Amino acid sequence: MVLREIAGENLLIPVGQTALKIHGMITLSESGLLLWKRLQTECTEDELVEALLTEYQVDRETAAADVKAFIRQMQEVGILEES
């Protein structure tokens, strides 16, 4: 996946083999963009929660739920694997 900003939108664009599985682009929210960038290096789910807590005024429970939802969505489309 390649991240591009187009017309103010943060888009994940499939390339290579991924483009054969995913037809279309994925739009990321601001928090989704933060998580995607953080996932470019190996990190834990707790580290992702901490990243949201640092950047946004949100409680830990909400941040944890958002991280779980983001990870689940990325796994469902096949662009994130658990290690």
pTM assigned to the model: 0.84
Amino acid 83: pLDDT: 64
Task: Report the distance separating Cα 64 and Cα 67, nearest Å.
Answer: 5
pLDDT at 6 over 80: yes
Which amino acid, one-letter code, is at 58?
V
Two structure tokens written together for 8 = 């103010």
Cβ proximity of 80 and 48 under 8 Å: no
| Mean pLDDT of all residues belonging to the chain | 91
Per cent of the chain over pLDDT 90 is 64
Amino acid 20: pLDDT: 78
Task: Report the distance separating Cα 44 and Cα 1, nearest Å.
Answer: 20
User: What is the rounded average pLDDT of the residues 14-36?
Assistant: 88
Two structure tokens written together for 56 = 């946004």
Task: Report the distance separating Cα 25 and Cα 3, nearest Å.
Answer: 10
pLDDT at 71 over 80: yes
